[in-house]
Structure 1
Amino acid sequence: MSLHFSVLASGSTGNAIFVETEDHSFLVDAGLSGKQMEALFAKIDRDMGKLSGLLVTHEHSDHIKGIGVLARKYKLPIYANSKTWTAMDHLIGEIPLDQKFTFDMETVKSFGSLDIESFGVSHDAAEPMFYVFHHNGKKLVLITDTGYVSDRMKGIISNAEMYVFESNHDVQMLRMGRYPWSIKQRILSDVGHVSNEDAALAMSEVVGEKTKRIYLAHLSADNNMKDLAKMSVTQTLQVRGHIVGEQFELYDTDPKIPTVLTAV
């Protein structure tokens, strides 16, 4: 069995990604209510009770809203780094000690044939990090919630078969939109979110001959649109010498509708 994944939900209202191999499965973040998460699992025909654990990226509510209730209901292990545990402990309710595990940044944990690599990103959270899943020589990269993509990050995520990549906002829509200037500054900062164009510039430096699919994630409901994001990313990639539809495919994600469970 291959490595499979589905972006269950992606956006400012909640984020969650499901990843499975033949012997283990993980939920990366659970930023929706327990009931909503169960409904999303039903849509991909998977049983939440069979999860091997919950992986946390950072403590913002759109990533941890359902973590506590799901962990308690299904007795699931939770993995997060120490600073994230400190920041989210009071937000997710009481968790039994035997379900609390530390997953340090810049380390690898192995679960059978699956190796999960953590790496730091630049976001206004305690110690935000995302994950690369390695299985049978193939690589799935999850990277959202970062103000920029550093050379260090690019080295870690380069030439993966699949990417779930942040494409948060169109800069012009954000600048002209209804958000207070302080919020706009935060989003545009190095600890905010990457724009469509900046995401594409980073993609152009990390995609390789193995790359098959890129999923545009964490799109802002107020400052972006699916078609605009795909057009902007496609155009920027083309300028940098990458042809969408020939070298790899580009997909969008949704706050409420899971992507099709796909083999890496």
Structure 2
Amino acid sequence: MSLHFSVLASGSTGNAIYVETEGQSFLVDAGLSGKQMEGLFKEIGREMKDLSGILVTHEHSDHIKGIGIVARKYKLPIYANEKTWKAMDGLIGEIPLDQKFSFAMETVKTFGGLDIESFGVSHDAAEPMFYVFHKEGKKLALVTDTGYVSDRMKGIISNADAYVFESNHDVQMLRMGRYPWSVKRRILSDYGHVSNEDAAVAMSEVAGDQTKRIYLAHLSKDNNMKDLARMAVTQTLEGQGIIVGEQFDLMDTDPKTPTPLTAI
């Protein structure tokens, strides 16, 4: 079985991604309520009781809101680095010791034939990190919640078959919007979120011959729109000599509706 995945929910109101291969299936973050998570799983024809575990990226509520209740209900192991575990203390309730596992940054864990690689990102959390899934030459890279994409990150995520890639905001919408300046400054900083244009430049530098799909993820509810993100990313990629639809396709994600379970 090749890698299959679904972006269950993506945006400022909650984030969760499902990844499976033969004998293994993982949930990356659970930033919605337990009830909402169960509904999303039902939509893709899967059940949370069958999960191998939950991988945590960082402790912000839009990524961990439902983790505690889901893990306790289905007795699922949770994997996070030590600083994230400390930051989650008091936020996800009591987790039995036999369900708590450490996944250090910049390491690889192997589950059956599936290799999961962790890497650090630049975000205002304790020790935020995301994941690359490797299976028999196939590669899925998840990269959101970062203020910029460093050369180190680009090397780790390069030439993936598919990306779930942050395209958080339109800079002008953010600057003209209702957020207080302190919040705007945070989002625009190196520890915030990447804009549509900055995301596209990074995409142009990491996409390779294997790349077939890039999912635009973690769009701001107040400072972006799907059509705007897709247009801005497409135009910026064209400026870098990449024609969307020829080298790879751009795909939407949604805060409430999962993407179809897709093989790579």
The bucket for the TM-score relative to the shorter chain is over 0.9
Matches within 5 A, 1:89-100: 89-100=89-100
Q: 1:37 matched to which residue of 2?
A: 37
Aligned-pair identity in percent equals 83
Name structure 2 gaps, 5 residues minimum.
none
Deviations 1:173-193 (A, max 9, x none): 000000000000000000000
Once the two structures are TM-superposed, the CA of residue 89 in structure 1 deviates from its matched residue by 1.9
TM-score by length of 2: 1.00
**Helix, strand or coil: the match of 2:7?**
strand
Deviations 1:97-135 (A, max 9, x none): 000000000000000010000000000000000000000
Alpha-carbon distance between aligned partners in 2 of 1:47 and 1:177, rounded to the nearest angstrom:
40
Once the two structures are TM-superposed, the CA of residue 217 in structure 1 deviates from its matched residue by 0.1
Matches within 5 A, 1:124-163: 124-163=124-163
Alpha-carbon distance between aligned partners in 1 of 2:69 and 2:48, rounded to the nearest angstrom:
12
**Helix, strand or coil: the match of 2:95?**
coil
Q: 2:247 matched to which residue of 1?
A: 247
Matches within 5 A, 1:1-264: 1-264=1-264
Question: Which consecutive segments of 4 or more residues in structure 1 shift more than 4 A?
Answer: none
Q: CA RMSD in A?
A: 0.3
The one-letter amino acid paired with 1:83 is: K
Alpha-carbon distance between aligned partners in 2 of 1:210 and 1:241, rounded to the nearest angstrom:
17
**Helix, strand or coil: the match of 1:140?**
strand
Deviations 1:202-261 (A, max 9, x none): 001000010000000000010000000000000000110111001100011000000000
Once the two structures are TM-superposed, the CA of residue 49 in structure 1 deviates from its matched residue by 0.0
Alpha-carbon distance between aligned partners in 1 of 2:89 and 2:162, rounded to the nearest angstrom:
32
Once the two structures are TM-superposed, the CA of residue 90 in structure 1 deviates from its matched residue by 1.1
**Helix, strand or coil: the match of 2:6?**
strand
TM-score by length of 1: 1.00
Name structure 1 gaps, 5 residues minimum.
none
The one-letter amino acid paired with 1:24 is: Q
Alpha-carbon distance between aligned partners in 2 of 1:89 and 1:37, rounded to the nearest angstrom:
22
Alpha-carbon distance between aligned partners in 2 of 1:246 and 1:203, rounded to the nearest angstrom:
15
The one-letter amino acid paired with 1:19 is: V
Alpha-carbon distance between aligned partners in 2 of 1:64 and 1:225, rounded to the nearest angstrom:
24
Alpha-carbon distance between aligned partners in 2 of 1:85 and 1:73, rounded to the nearest angstrom:
19
Deviations 1:128-163 (A, max 9, x none): 000000001010000000000000000000000000
